[in-house]
Amino acid sequence: METIHEILEKKGREIYSVTPDTTVFEALTLMAEKNIGAVLVLDGEKLTGIMSERDYARKIALKGKFSKEVPVKEIMSSDVICVGSEQTINNTKAIMINKRIRHLPVLEDQKLVGIISIGDVVNAVLDEKTFMIDQLESYIKGVTDPGSK
C-alpha cells in the first residue's frame, strides 16, 4: 500500500507559506503564481493555519471585505488537520472525505515536510488501480496464451 511519503517523493516537498500578518491579497497572489488552492500559514517554523480559496470566497468576497486590507490570520482555518508521512493513502483519503478538506500538511517527527491535495491522493489511487489492472491483464494473458508455457 502506497503511503503519503511516496506521494511526496513523486510530487516534491515544496511548501508555499505566508505569515499570519500577510494580507489576503498577497496570499492569493502567491497561490495564483504557484497554481495552488491553499497556502500554509507559518509563524516562524510553527504551523498556525491554512488559507484556502474557499476561505477567501466565504470570508472576504461574500462579506464585501477588501483582500488588500485583511490579514490572513483573520480568515485562515486555525484547526489544521495534519497527517504523518507513513499514513496510507486509503486512510488519508478517508480523512479528507470525512472532514471535507482538500489540503493536508504532512509531518515527519513533528516537523512540516510537505503538503498534499485531494488531487494528489486521487492520482495515487488511480496509479495503484492502473498497476493492479496491468498485473491482472498480464497474468490472464499468460494463463490463456498456449505459447507461454
Structural domain harbouring 90: 4-144
Domain for residue 26, yes or no? yes
pLDDT over 90 at 140, yes or no: no
Average of pLDDT values for 36-55?
95
pLDDT digits (tens, 9 = 90+) for 93-112: 999 999 999 999 999 998 99
Domain count, the chain: 1
Domain for residue 139, yes or no? yes
Report the pLDDT value the prediction gives residue 112, as an integer from 0 to 100: 95
d(CA 4, CA 69): 37
pLDDT over 60 at 148, yes or no: no
Average of pLDDT values for 62-89?
93
Q: Which residues contact 24 (CB under 8 A, 6 or more apart)?
A: 51, 56, 60, 67, 68, 70, 71, 72, 74, 75
pLDDT over 90 at 28, yes or no: yes
Domain for residue 149, yes or no? no
Dig out the grid coordinates for 133 from the structure.
489492472
Domain for residue 102, yes or no? yes
Please report, for the domain that includes residue 101, its CATH number: 3.10.580.10
Predicted confidence band at 141 (pLDDT cuts at 50, 70, 90)? confident
